[in-house]
Structure 1
Amino acid sequence: MATSIYDFTVKDQQGNDVSLADYRGRVLLVVNTATECGFTPTYAQLEELYRNLHDRGFDILDFPCDQFGHEAPGTDEEIAAFCTSRFGVTFPQFAKIEVSGENAEPLFSYLEQQQGFKGFDEGHELASLLEGMLAKNDPDFASSPSVKWNFTKFLVDRDGNVVRRFEPTASVPDVVAPAVEELL
Protein backbone atom coordinates (compact mmCIF):
# COMPACT_ATOMS: atom_id res chain seq x y z
CA MET A 1 0.00 0.00 0.00
CA ALA A 2 1.31 3.43 -0.98
CA THR A 3 2.42 5.73 1.82
CA SER A 4 3.44 8.69 -0.34
CA ILE A 5 3.41 9.87 -3.91
CA TYR A 6 6.97 8.55 -4.22
CA ASP A 7 5.64 4.98 -4.27
CA PHE A 8 4.23 5.46 -7.79
CA THR A 9 5.68 5.00 -11.25
CA VAL A 10 3.99 6.66 -14.23
CA LYS A 11 4.57 6.79 -17.98
CA ASP A 12 6.10 9.76 -19.74
CA GLN A 13 4.89 10.83 -23.19
CA GLN A 14 7.20 8.31 -24.85
CA GLY A 15 5.86 5.43 -22.74
CA ASN A 16 8.92 5.20 -20.47
CA ASP A 17 8.54 4.53 -16.76
CA VAL A 18 9.17 7.50 -14.47
CA SER A 19 9.42 6.97 -10.73
CA LEU A 20 7.88 9.82 -8.80
CA ALA A 21 10.66 9.21 -6.27
CA ASP A 22 12.75 11.19 -8.77
CA TYR A 23 10.87 14.25 -7.48
CA ARG A 24 11.66 13.59 -3.81
CA GLY A 25 12.31 16.81 -1.91
CA ARG A 26 10.37 19.02 -4.34
CA VAL A 27 6.95 20.62 -4.00
CA LEU A 28 4.65 19.21 -6.68
CA LEU A 29 1.40 20.23 -8.30
CA VAL A 30 -0.15 17.20 -10.03
CA VAL A 31 -2.76 18.22 -12.62
CA ASN A 32 -5.09 16.44 -15.03
CA THR A 33 -5.41 18.61 -18.13
CA ALA A 34 -7.27 18.94 -21.42
CA THR A 35 -6.56 20.94 -24.56
CA GLU A 36 -10.15 21.76 -25.59
CA CYS A 37 -11.71 22.71 -22.26
CA GLY A 38 -13.10 25.96 -20.90
CA PHE A 39 -10.25 25.78 -18.39
CA THR A 40 -7.52 25.24 -21.03
CA PRO A 41 -6.20 28.84 -20.58
CA THR A 42 -5.13 27.64 -17.12
CA TYR A 43 -2.06 26.23 -18.91
CA ALA A 44 -0.69 29.79 -19.21
CA GLN A 45 -1.17 30.44 -15.48
CA LEU A 46 0.42 27.12 -14.60
CA GLU A 47 3.41 27.83 -16.84
CA GLU A 48 3.90 31.24 -15.22
CA LEU A 49 3.76 29.64 -11.76
CA TYR A 50 6.23 26.97 -12.86
CA ARG A 51 8.70 29.48 -14.31
CA ASN A 52 8.50 31.68 -11.21
CA LEU A 53 8.98 28.91 -8.66
CA HIS A 54 10.79 26.02 -10.36
CA ASP A 55 14.23 27.15 -9.21
CA ARG A 56 12.97 27.18 -5.62
CA GLY A 57 12.09 23.47 -5.74
CA PHE A 58 8.70 23.36 -7.46
CA ASP A 59 7.44 21.15 -10.30
CA ILE A 60 4.16 20.70 -12.11
CA LEU A 61 3.32 17.20 -13.34
CA ASP A 62 0.81 17.35 -16.19
CA PHE A 63 -1.36 14.34 -17.01
CA PRO A 64 -3.59 14.87 -20.06
CA CYS A 65 -6.99 13.23 -19.62
CA ASP A 66 -9.72 12.75 -22.22
CA GLN A 67 -12.21 11.40 -19.68
CA PHE A 68 -14.33 14.54 -19.24
CA GLY A 69 -16.23 15.76 -22.28
CA HIS A 70 -13.68 14.28 -24.73
CA GLU A 71 -11.72 17.51 -24.30
CA ALA A 72 -8.21 16.08 -24.74
CA PRO A 73 -8.29 14.42 -28.14
CA GLY A 74 -5.14 13.56 -30.01
CA THR A 75 -1.96 11.69 -29.27
CA ASP A 76 0.47 12.53 -26.49
CA GLU A 77 2.71 14.15 -29.12
CA GLU A 78 -0.14 16.28 -30.51
CA ILE A 79 -1.11 17.40 -27.03
CA ALA A 80 2.49 18.33 -26.21
CA ALA A 81 2.85 20.27 -29.46
CA PHE A 82 -0.37 22.19 -28.75
CA CYS A 83 0.70 23.05 -25.19
CA THR A 84 4.17 24.13 -26.26
CA SER A 85 3.09 26.25 -29.23
CA ARG A 86 -0.02 27.78 -27.69
CA PHE A 87 1.03 28.26 -24.05
CA GLY A 88 4.82 27.81 -24.03
CA VAL A 89 4.54 24.90 -21.60
CA THR A 90 7.89 23.70 -20.28
CA PHE A 91 6.79 21.69 -17.24
CA PRO A 92 6.80 17.88 -17.46
CA GLN A 93 3.92 16.32 -19.38
CA PHE A 94 3.13 12.63 -19.07
CA ALA A 95 1.13 10.07 -21.05
CA LYS A 96 -2.61 10.56 -21.39
CA ILE A 97 -4.49 8.71 -18.64
CA GLU A 98 -7.86 8.27 -16.96
CA VAL A 99 -8.08 9.81 -13.51
CA SER A 100 -11.31 8.34 -12.11
CA GLY A 101 -13.21 5.09 -12.24
CA GLU A 102 -12.11 1.52 -12.77
CA ASN A 103 -9.42 2.43 -15.34
CA ALA A 104 -7.95 5.26 -13.29
CA GLU A 105 -4.20 5.65 -13.09
CA PRO A 106 -3.30 4.32 -9.59
CA LEU A 107 -1.57 7.62 -8.78
CA PHE A 108 -4.85 9.49 -9.18
CA SER A 109 -6.80 6.93 -7.15
CA TYR A 110 -4.29 7.60 -4.37
CA LEU A 111 -4.56 11.37 -4.78
CA GLU A 112 -8.37 11.17 -4.54
CA GLN A 113 -8.13 9.09 -1.36
CA GLN A 114 -5.77 11.61 0.20
CA GLN A 115 -7.75 14.74 -0.73
CA GLY A 116 -11.38 14.27 -1.67
CA PHE A 117 -13.76 16.64 -3.41
CA LYS A 118 -14.77 19.61 -1.24
CA GLY A 119 -16.77 21.58 -3.80
CA PHE A 120 -16.21 24.14 -6.50
CA ASP A 121 -15.36 27.80 -5.89
CA GLU A 122 -18.86 29.27 -5.98
CA GLY A 123 -17.46 32.62 -7.10
CA HIS A 124 -16.27 31.13 -10.39
CA GLU A 125 -18.49 31.66 -13.44
CA LEU A 126 -18.37 27.97 -14.42
CA ALA A 127 -19.12 26.49 -10.95
CA SER A 128 -22.89 26.27 -11.34
CA LEU A 129 -22.55 24.92 -14.89
CA LEU A 130 -20.24 22.14 -13.67
CA GLU A 131 -22.49 21.33 -10.72
CA GLY A 132 -25.57 21.12 -12.94
CA MET A 133 -23.84 18.96 -15.52
CA LEU A 134 -22.40 16.59 -12.91
CA ALA A 135 -25.68 16.36 -10.95
CA LYS A 136 -27.52 15.34 -14.11
CA ASN A 137 -25.37 12.18 -14.35
CA ASP A 138 -24.99 11.61 -10.61
CA PRO A 139 -27.17 13.54 -8.14
CA ASP A 140 -24.79 12.45 -5.35
CA PHE A 141 -21.59 13.50 -7.18
CA ALA A 142 -20.40 15.78 -4.36
CA SER A 143 -20.10 12.91 -1.86
CA SER A 144 -17.50 11.04 -3.92
CA PRO A 145 -13.78 11.90 -3.67
CA SER A 146 -13.30 11.36 -7.42
CA VAL A 147 -11.85 13.95 -9.76
CA LYS A 148 -14.83 15.75 -11.30
CA TRP A 149 -13.31 17.62 -14.24
CA ASN A 150 -10.22 18.75 -16.11
CA PHE A 151 -7.61 20.87 -14.33
CA THR A 152 -8.09 19.42 -10.87
CA LYS A 153 -4.83 20.06 -9.03
CA PHE A 154 -3.22 18.20 -6.11
CA LEU A 155 -0.50 19.89 -4.05
CA VAL A 156 2.23 17.63 -2.66
CA ASP A 157 4.78 18.73 -0.06
CA ARG A 158 8.52 17.98 -0.11
CA ASP A 159 7.91 14.74 1.84
CA GLY A 160 5.48 13.32 -0.72
CA ASN A 161 2.32 14.08 1.28
CA VAL A 162 -0.79 15.24 -0.58
CA VAL A 163 -1.69 18.36 1.38
CA ARG A 164 -4.31 20.19 -0.70
CA ARG A 165 -6.67 19.75 -3.61
CA PHE A 166 -7.78 22.55 -5.91
CA GLU A 167 -10.75 22.16 -8.21
CA PRO A 168 -10.64 23.66 -11.73
CA THR A 169 -12.51 26.71 -10.41
CA ALA A 170 -9.69 27.64 -7.98
CA SER A 171 -7.70 30.65 -9.15
CA VAL A 172 -4.09 29.75 -9.86
CA PRO A 173 -2.69 33.23 -9.08
CA ASP A 174 -4.92 33.94 -6.06
CA VAL A 175 -5.37 30.53 -4.41
CA VAL A 176 -2.93 27.94 -5.78
CA ALA A 177 0.22 30.10 -5.99
CA PRO A 178 0.10 31.24 -2.33
CA ALA A 179 -0.42 27.64 -1.16
CA VAL A 180 2.59 26.51 -3.21
CA GLU A 181 4.73 29.35 -1.84
CA GLU A 182 3.87 28.36 1.73
CA LEU A 183 5.52 24.98 1.12
CA LEU A 184 8.66 26.44 -0.44
Structure 2
Amino acid sequence: MNALMLASDITKRPVVTLGGEAVAQVRDVVFDGHAGRVSGFTLSGRGLFSGPLRQALPWEAVSSLGPHAVMIHDETAFESRDEVADSAEAANGHVLGARVLTDTGTDLGHVTDVVIEVTASQALVAGYEIAPAKSLGPHGRTVFIPLARTIAVSGEALVVPAAVADYMMDDLSALEKAIPEFRSRMSGKEA
Protein backbone atom coordinates (compact mmCIF):
# COMPACT_ATOMS: atom_id res chain seq x y z
CA MET A 1 0.00 0.00 0.00
CA ASN A 2 1.30 3.46 -0.93
CA ALA A 3 0.60 6.47 1.24
CA LEU A 4 1.36 10.16 0.82
CA MET A 5 2.50 12.18 3.80
CA LEU A 6 4.22 15.46 4.47
CA ALA A 7 7.77 15.45 5.76
CA SER A 8 6.74 17.89 8.50
CA ASP A 9 4.16 15.37 9.73
CA ILE A 10 6.90 12.78 10.29
CA THR A 11 8.96 14.98 12.58
CA LYS A 12 8.44 14.26 16.28
CA ARG A 13 7.05 10.82 15.45
CA PRO A 14 8.36 8.20 17.90
CA VAL A 15 10.86 5.58 16.75
CA VAL A 16 9.69 2.28 18.22
CA THR A 17 11.32 -1.15 18.23
CA LEU A 18 9.31 -4.20 17.19
CA GLY A 19 9.57 -5.13 20.88
CA GLY A 20 7.43 -2.07 21.68
CA GLU A 21 10.10 0.20 23.20
CA ALA A 22 10.11 3.88 22.16
CA VAL A 23 13.84 4.60 21.73
CA ALA A 24 13.92 8.02 20.01
CA GLN A 25 11.86 10.45 18.02
CA VAL A 26 12.33 11.83 14.52
CA ARG A 27 13.96 15.24 14.52
CA ASP A 28 14.34 15.80 10.76
CA VAL A 29 13.78 13.91 7.52
CA VAL A 30 17.00 13.58 5.50
CA PHE A 31 16.63 13.60 1.71
CA ASP A 32 18.90 12.44 -1.08
CA GLY A 33 18.08 15.19 -3.59
CA HIS A 34 19.68 13.45 -6.57
CA ALA A 35 17.84 10.16 -6.02
CA GLY A 36 14.57 11.83 -4.99
CA ARG A 37 14.18 9.69 -1.91
CA VAL A 38 14.35 9.73 1.87
CA SER A 39 17.77 8.55 3.01
CA GLY A 40 16.98 8.54 6.71
CA PHE A 41 16.12 10.53 9.80
CA THR A 42 18.06 12.53 12.34
CA LEU A 43 16.88 11.76 15.87
CA SER A 44 16.33 13.32 19.23
CA GLY A 45 15.81 11.65 22.57
CA ARG A 46 12.41 11.03 24.06
CA GLY A 47 11.15 13.44 26.69
CA LEU A 48 10.75 17.13 27.30
CA PHE A 49 14.42 18.00 27.86
CA SER A 50 15.98 15.59 25.38
CA GLY A 51 18.16 17.05 22.69
CA PRO A 52 19.52 15.80 19.38
CA LEU A 53 21.16 12.39 19.33
CA ARG A 54 24.54 11.68 17.73
CA GLN A 55 22.91 8.74 16.03
CA ALA A 56 20.57 8.73 13.05
CA LEU A 57 18.33 6.19 11.40
CA PRO A 58 19.11 5.21 7.79
CA TRP A 59 16.05 4.41 5.67
CA GLU A 60 17.34 0.89 4.99
CA ALA A 61 16.92 0.09 8.71
CA VAL A 62 13.25 1.19 8.88
CA SER A 63 10.83 -1.73 9.17
CA SER A 64 7.85 0.51 8.44
CA LEU A 65 6.73 4.12 8.51
CA GLY A 66 3.19 4.43 9.72
CA PRO A 67 0.87 7.29 10.57
CA HIS A 68 1.88 7.21 14.25
CA ALA A 69 5.40 5.77 14.50
CA VAL A 70 8.57 4.75 12.71
CA MET A 71 9.19 1.05 13.38
CA ILE A 72 12.65 -0.55 13.62
CA HIS A 73 13.85 -4.01 14.66
CA ASP A 74 16.01 -2.71 17.50
CA GLU A 75 18.49 0.03 18.42
CA THR A 76 21.28 -1.61 16.38
CA ALA A 77 19.57 0.05 13.40
CA PHE A 78 21.09 3.41 14.37
CA GLU A 79 24.21 4.72 12.61
CA SER A 80 26.41 7.75 13.05
CA ARG A 81 24.48 10.93 12.34
CA ASP A 82 27.26 12.07 10.02
CA GLU A 83 26.94 8.98 7.82
CA VAL A 84 23.21 9.52 7.27
CA ALA A 85 22.99 13.32 7.11
CA ASP A 86 26.27 14.32 5.43
CA SER A 87 25.70 12.31 2.24
CA ALA A 88 22.31 13.92 1.71
CA GLU A 89 23.56 17.42 2.49
CA ALA A 90 26.36 16.95 -0.03
CA ALA A 91 23.68 16.08 -2.61
CA ASN A 92 21.90 19.44 -2.05
CA GLY A 93 18.96 17.95 -0.16
CA HIS A 94 17.68 21.38 1.00
CA VAL A 95 14.60 22.56 -0.89
CA LEU A 96 12.43 24.29 1.72
CA GLY A 97 11.99 27.91 0.74
CA ALA A 98 13.26 27.33 -2.81
CA ARG A 99 11.41 29.14 -5.59
CA VAL A 100 9.50 26.83 -7.97
CA LEU A 101 9.93 27.86 -11.61
CA THR A 102 8.65 26.13 -14.72
CA ASP A 103 11.00 25.45 -17.62
CA THR A 104 9.08 28.18 -19.48
CA GLY A 105 9.92 30.77 -16.78
CA THR A 106 6.66 30.89 -14.80
CA ASP A 107 6.99 31.42 -11.04
CA LEU A 108 4.69 28.95 -9.27
CA GLY A 109 5.65 29.93 -5.71
CA HIS A 110 8.02 28.54 -3.08
CA VAL A 111 8.38 25.17 -1.37
CA THR A 112 6.91 24.93 2.14
CA ASP A 113 7.04 21.13 2.62
CA VAL A 114 7.95 17.89 0.87
CA VAL A 115 5.36 15.23 -0.04
CA ILE A 116 6.64 11.70 0.53
CA GLU A 117 5.21 8.56 -1.06
CA VAL A 118 5.81 5.67 1.32
CA THR A 119 5.74 2.11 -0.02
CA ALA A 120 6.64 -1.16 1.65
CA SER A 121 10.28 -0.81 0.57
CA GLN A 122 11.06 2.89 0.08
CA ALA A 123 10.08 6.48 0.67
CA LEU A 124 10.24 8.65 -2.45
CA VAL A 125 9.72 12.34 -2.92
CA ALA A 126 6.37 12.48 -4.75
CA GLY A 127 5.84 16.22 -4.80
CA TYR A 128 5.94 19.47 -2.91
CA GLU A 129 3.63 21.65 -0.90
CA ILE A 130 4.05 25.20 -2.16
CA ALA A 131 2.85 28.65 -1.24
CA PRO A 132 1.69 29.78 -4.67
CA ALA A 133 2.95 32.96 -6.29
CA LYS A 134 0.56 35.92 -5.96
CA SER A 135 -0.09 35.81 -9.71
CA LEU A 136 -1.67 32.34 -9.36
CA GLY A 137 -4.51 33.24 -7.04
CA PRO A 138 -5.38 33.76 -3.39
CA HIS A 139 -2.25 34.17 -1.30
CA GLY A 140 -1.99 32.52 2.10
CA ARG A 141 -3.09 29.03 1.10
CA THR A 142 -0.89 26.16 0.02
CA VAL A 143 -1.20 23.79 -2.92
CA PHE A 144 0.50 20.56 -3.89
CA ILE A 145 2.42 19.77 -7.05
CA PRO A 146 3.74 16.41 -8.25
CA LEU A 147 7.45 15.83 -8.64
CA ALA A 148 8.73 15.53 -12.16
CA ARG A 149 11.24 12.71 -12.63
CA THR A 150 13.67 15.00 -14.43
CA ILE A 151 14.10 18.06 -12.32
CA ALA A 152 16.78 20.63 -11.57
CA VAL A 153 17.29 21.47 -7.90
CA SER A 154 19.55 24.08 -6.39
CA GLY A 155 19.50 25.89 -3.08
CA GLU A 156 17.60 28.74 -4.74
CA ALA A 157 15.24 27.20 -7.30
CA LEU A 158 13.42 24.07 -8.28
CA VAL A 159 12.90 23.93 -12.06
CA VAL A 160 9.92 21.83 -13.13
CA PRO A 161 8.23 21.12 -16.47
CA ALA A 162 5.46 23.60 -17.36
CA ALA A 163 2.97 20.69 -17.27
CA VAL A 164 3.26 20.66 -13.46
CA ALA A 165 1.01 23.75 -13.36
CA ASP A 166 -1.83 21.62 -14.77
CA TYR A 167 -1.56 19.33 -11.75
CA MET A 168 -1.61 21.83 -8.87
CA MET A 169 -3.98 20.33 -6.28
CA ASP A 170 -5.58 21.71 -3.12
CA ASP A 171 -5.10 18.59 -0.99
CA LEU A 172 -3.02 15.42 -0.73
CA SER A 173 -5.84 13.06 -1.73
CA ALA A 174 -6.34 14.96 -5.01
CA LEU A 175 -2.58 14.91 -5.60
CA GLU A 176 -2.49 11.17 -4.95
CA LYS A 177 -5.12 10.64 -7.66
CA ALA A 178 -3.34 12.98 -10.11
CA ILE A 179 0.17 11.50 -9.78
CA PRO A 180 -0.36 8.44 -12.03
CA GLU A 181 -1.77 10.61 -14.85
CA PHE A 182 1.05 13.12 -14.42
CA ARG A 183 3.70 10.38 -14.49
CA SER A 184 2.13 8.88 -17.57
CA ARG A 185 2.08 12.27 -19.30
CA MET A 186 5.72 12.91 -18.38
CA SER A 187 6.78 9.52 -19.74
CA GLY A 188 5.30 10.49 -23.12
CA LYS A 189 2.09 8.48 -22.82
CA GLU A 190 -1.33 10.06 -22.61
CA ALA A 191 -3.43 8.77 -19.73
Q: TM-score, normalised by structure 2?
A: 0.27
RCO higher in 1 or 2 (8 Å CA, sep ≥ 6)? 1
Higher helix share: 1
Q: Which has the larger radius of gyration?
A: 2
Q: TM-score, normalised by structure 1?
A: 0.27
